[in-house]
Amino acid sequence: MRLAFGQRFAFWRPRSRLPFAVLFKKFQSILDRNNHILEKMADMGDKLGGEYVFDRHYIEHSAEELSDMVFKLVSDFSLLNREKNSELFIASETVRQGIAAELSGKGLRRELGPRILPLAEIGLEHCDEVGSKLANLGEIHNRLGLNVPEGFAITTAAFADLVAPSAIAELLPQAARLWQDRDEAGLRRLAAEVHQRILVTPLPGSLASAIDSACRELTKKHGGSGVRFAVRSSATWEDGGSSFAGQHLTLLNVPPSQVAEAYRSVVASLFSFAAWRYRLERGYEEDETAMAVGCQLLVEGTASGVLHTCAPDRPSESMVIESIWGLCAPVVGGECATDAFILDRIPPYRSLATTLAAKTRQATADPRGGTCWQEVATERQHLPSLAPDQLQTLAETAMTLEGFFKRPLQIEWTFATGGDLTVLQVRPLSRWTSRLAEDGRDSAPQADATVVFADRGVIVQCGVATGRVVRVDSDRDLERFPHGGILVARHTSPRYSAVMGKVRGIITDFGSSAGHMATIAREFRVPTVVNTTIATAALHDGDRVTLDATHNVVYEGEVATVTGFIPIEEEIFEDSAEYRLLRRVLRHVTPLNLLAPQSENFLPSACRTYHDITRYIHEKAVEALIHLSDNHGASHSSAPRKLTAELPLGLLVINAGDGLDGAADDPEVSVEQVTSLPLAALLAGLSTPGMWSTMPLSVNLNSFMASFTRTFTTSLAGPKDIGRNLAVVMRNYLNINLRLGYHFTTIDAYIADNVNDNYIYFRFLGGVTELIRRSRRAICIAKVLERYDFRVETHGDIVLGRLKKQPAERMRQRMTMLGALLGFTRQLDAQMHSDSDVAHHAEVFIKAFDDHSAGDDHDHSVRQQPAPPAHSR
């Protein structure tokens, strides 16, 4: 064992010997920085929750702080492991540059990433790459299963290529100055020049051929010749924060051979005078603007039009559909008279009013390309352009979309020759949301409707939902979840994110508004009430109900006046540029790609984010410290000794001074030989047999220990994994890094007679397990720590506890408590089913530990050893 250990580190030869104390200090500094980085990351993540008001300064400042800390972390590590660590420095520099690019706006015109993305692969998360318009379309096709014209996006990365040549790039920044000087004529000239230069700039060869092959593939799939494209703008922010309606070019009926040229024209329209002025007026920065372009098959509609889910200037209970024969373009352009259908917003979507126009002509695809007008046969001119069943289909689709986007929408649509409804574009209508939201708030709850229950539980997301109750008890229920159902379940679960796009509302018996599911429900703006305690008893599968999550009432059936409420919040926080910027910056920071230290890609070169780098360094720093003391041998400290205990902790202990008894070169050390006061206390807590038996859970010591063993036998199986659990001890000092499964606990403690020197620092960090249980346990731990006088901070699944300046005996008891708590929570992981369990389990622990301590002799010495476990293995 010892030989293998030495061999493993044989490659390592110290170049110069630094005293162990110095290196250990570095190690502590690494841990310290590691903590600060994790805390900062969690702090930034918190800001995405919508609760905080933050500005650009915050993002810049935080990013700079993080970069600085990570750089110093790598530097410290280099001193500890005596290597250059070039790959780590490169990784951190790459991340830093990525963040800098985001902050400078160049992240949007990312040089990386695909130039072409098929619509089938696009979702809302791609809005930076493909613009909001195409991201919306991709989302409703791929998530809601609605028909949209097949096609692909030419991304903002391609745009970055196109405007990169200096002849264009150097002109762009002039716009802001001209605008500031109110020099409209100058801006007009600039716009004309940029526009022209883009039109004459050749596409990069690779882009031209990529567009060509994407077109050819679609052409082949759809029967060869005759396929035509609609080439549409999808600028960043278009149909997102601002509509940019009609500002950019759309070209219809483009033959495949001309798509590349059409692409260039659409991009150029970003720099038309009107469009440029529009975004300068609205405060868009030049470098946060980029144009993605959608190339979709042209759908030759028999009837097309625009639907507003909330009829402008009408009561909020109605939607309006304007429609004509033929292609949709004339409706949007306001070029001809349209039929108007006003419908109820609730099923069965009764017709409230119909106005038919004389539709003398229709737009149609010109065989020569583009569109042309065509006379409408006299007998059809006065016929309604939509049949009742088409109106129904449209209304249903519109309400599905509104339910999904949670705000009134303007929807462009067409009925294709085959009769299928195709959605061409979905645009949020922010202008009306405010008024309608007021209406909603002002309406009194319904007196005549039958209330199933009211004022039970906690509102997570306001809004109103109508639909059938769908009881979810298992993953299979989720797989079968129908579109538009109201999810009713015992507990909240982040697994429901799988159906969030289909769910109209959520009601649970238990759960908290701070849970992960709650966060997701808010993200999807699904009206949600949790912790009602009676939802599953009162609501049955298939019941039709109306959930008014704004007033916290569940009604039987569909309550028409209630559903008049618009299920939206008027300020959509995610629309702010700062929110998006922070989210983009965090993409370089928080994702964790290095999961298992055993895996092959646990390498510095595989680090993609700051999280990866800190994770890697933490793991390797512990390893480095072990082999460092191993190599230095007894001259500076003891070699690591393996703790032999009933507790299979897999713990290696380095004695940095009076922390262990017995021969320094003994490869093992027993619990009895631990003279370090803090470690002895911690071990006593970990193995306290008395309290476990009082647990109401099905916990016995055997299974408790088994849960420890499972982790460590597997990790000990491979030599690479040894030493993940490491303690450095002195008589009054302990630094311990415990990895239990994927959870990390760090304790740094000093306990001696001088009260002022005493401290315990405790950090618990969840790993890659199921989010919700992880954070529940974090809350449970936090509650317990607070009960025992710790100053506690929690950030997501990180718990930090600090205790200072208490007398030695009390500090010792607290260490024992921490030991017991570690064991307790380890076992508890599988037991925490709902948020309500958290408080319960915390209380159970506190009571058990206090009972145990009460029977304890307060005068026992540090060296007093715990009794052997009741059920030893």
Partner 1 sequence: MTTPSDSSRLRLLILDDEPIVCKRLKPALQKLGCTVETFTDSASALARLGESAFDLVITDLKMEGLDGMKVLTEVKSSSPATRVVVITGFATMETARESYRQGAFDFIAKPFRLGDLLDCVRRIGSELGKDLSQATAK
Nearest partner of 537 among 463, 605, 452, judged by Cα:
452
Q: CA distances (Å), 676 to each of 182, 501, 712, in order?
A: 74, 55, 24
- Indicate which single residue of 55, 420, 473, 665 sits in contact with partner 1 (rule: CB under 8 A): 55
Amino acid found at 48: L
Strand residues in 429-542 grouped as ranges (E) = 451-454, 458-461, 464-471, 486-489, 505-508, 528-530
Q: Considering beta carbons, is residue 6 or 49 the nearer one to partner 1? A: 49
Q: Considering beta carbons, is residue 298 or 462 the nearer one to partner 1? A: 462
Q: Considering beta carbons, is residue 107 or 241 the nearer one to partner 1? A: 241
CB of 578 to partner 1, least distance (A): 5
Q: Considering beta carbons, is residue 212 or 578 the nearer one to partner 1? A: 578
Question: Quick check: 41 and 610 in contact, CB under 8 A?
Answer: yes
CB of 246 to partner 1, least distance (A): 24
Residues in 405-464 at the binding interface with partner 1, rule: CB under 8 A:
434, 441-442, 462
Pick the stretch among 57-65, 593-601, 736-744, 847-855 that binds partner 1 (CB under 8 A). Answer: 57-65
- Indicate which single residue of 50, 118, 186, 657 sits in contact with partner 1 (rule: CB under 8 A): 50
CB of 609 to partner 1, least distance (A): 22
Kindly compute the dihedral angle of the four CA atoms of residues 660, 665, 670, 675, in this order, to the nearest 10 degrees.
Answer: -10
Q: Considering beta carbons, is residue 53 or 185 the nearer one to partner 1? A: 53
Q: Considering beta carbons, is residue 515 or 659 the nearer one to partner 1? A: 515
CB of 832 to partner 1, least distance (A): 27
Instruction: Say which residue the tokens 């396929």 belong to.
Output: 227
Question: If binding is defined by CB under 8 A, does position 58 make contact with partner 1?
Answer: yes
Q: Considering beta carbons, is residue 460 or 681 the nearer one to partner 1? A: 460
- The Cβ of residue 404 has, within 10 Å, a number of other Cβ atoms equal to 26
CB of 730 to partner 1, least distance (A): 37
Residues in 256-285 at the binding interface with partner 1, rule: CB under 8 A:
283
Q: Considering beta carbons, is residue 43 or 93 the nearer one to partner 1? A: 43
CB of 680 to partner 1, least distance (A): 42
Nearest partner of 179 among 273, 242, 291, judged by Cα:
273
Question: Quick check: 692 and 859 in contact, CB under 8 A?
Answer: no
- Indicate which single residue of 3, 4, 10, 53 sits in contact with partner 1 (rule: CB under 8 A): 53
Q: Give the dihedral sign, CA 603/607/610/611.
A: negative
CB of 236 to partner 1, least distance (A): 17
Q: Considering beta carbons, is residue 283 or 696 the nearer one to partner 1? A: 283
What x/- string results for residues 499 through 528 when contact with partner 1 is judged by CB under 8 A?
Answer: ------------------------------
The count of residues interacting with partner 1 (CB under 8 A) is 23
Nearest partner of 708 among 872, 855, 582, judged by Cα:
872
DSSP state of 553: E
Q: Considering beta carbons, is residue 451 or 459 the nearer one to partner 1? A: 459
Nearest partner of 553 among 437, 415, 448, judged by Cα:
448
Question: If binding is defined by CB under 8 A, does position 286 make contact with partner 1?
Answer: no
CB of 697 to partner 1, least distance (A): 36
Q: How far apart are CA 568 and CA 4, in angstroms?
A: 63
Q: How far apart are CA 305 and CA 299, in angstroms?
A: 13
Q: Considering beta carbons, is residue 500 or 671 the nearer one to partner 1? A: 500
What x/- string results for residues 562 through 601 when contact with partner 1 is judged by CB under 8 A?
Answer: -------xxx-x--xxx-----------------------
H or E stretch at 236: none
Question: Quick check: 270 and 248 in contact, CB under 8 A?
Answer: yes
What x/- string results for residues 359 through 388 when contact with partner 1 is judged by CB under 8 A?
Answer: ------------------------------
Pick the stretch among 45-53, 638-646, 732-740, 856-864 that binds partner 1 (CB under 8 A). Answer: 45-53
What x/- string results for residues 642 through 681 when contact with partner 1 is judged by CB under 8 A?
Answer: ----------------------------------------
φ/ψ of 245, rounded to 5, equals -55, 125
* Strand, coil or helix: 733: strand
Instruction: Say which residue the tokens 């526009």 belong to.
Output: 195
Question: If binding is defined by CB under 8 A, does position 57 make contact with partner 1?
Answer: yes
Residues in 317-346 at the binding interface with partner 1, rule: CB under 8 A:
none
- Indicate which single residue of 11, 51, 112, 205 sits in contact with partner 1 (rule: CB under 8 A): 51
How far separated are the first and last CA of the chain, in Å rounded?
Answer: 22
Structure tokens given for 183: 């020099």
Q: How far apart are CA 649 and CA 170, in angstroms?
A: 63
Structure tokens given for 41: 């990351």
Alpha carbon of residue 808 to chain centroid? 44
- Longest CA pairwise span in the chain (Å): 107
DSSP state of 857: -
Pick the stretch among 49-57, 147-155, 632-640, 711-719 that binds partner 1 (CB under 8 A). Answer: 49-57
* Strand, coil or helix: 354: strand
Question: If binding is defined by CB under 8 A, does position 222 make contact with partner 1?
Answer: no
φ/ψ of 852, rounded to 5, equals -65, -45
* Strand, coil or helix: 725: strand
Q: Considering beta carbons, is residue 286 or 558 the nearer one to partner 1? A: 286
H or E stretch at 581: helix 577-587
Strands 505-508 and 528-530, bridge-based pairing: parallel
- Indicate which single residue of 33, 40, 47, 504 sits in contact with partner 1 (rule: CB under 8 A): 47
Question: If binding is defined by CB under 8 A, does position 48 make contact with partner 1?
Answer: no
Residues in contact with partner 1 by the rule CB under 8 A: 47, 50-58, 61, 283, 434, 441-442, 462, 569-571, 573, 576-578
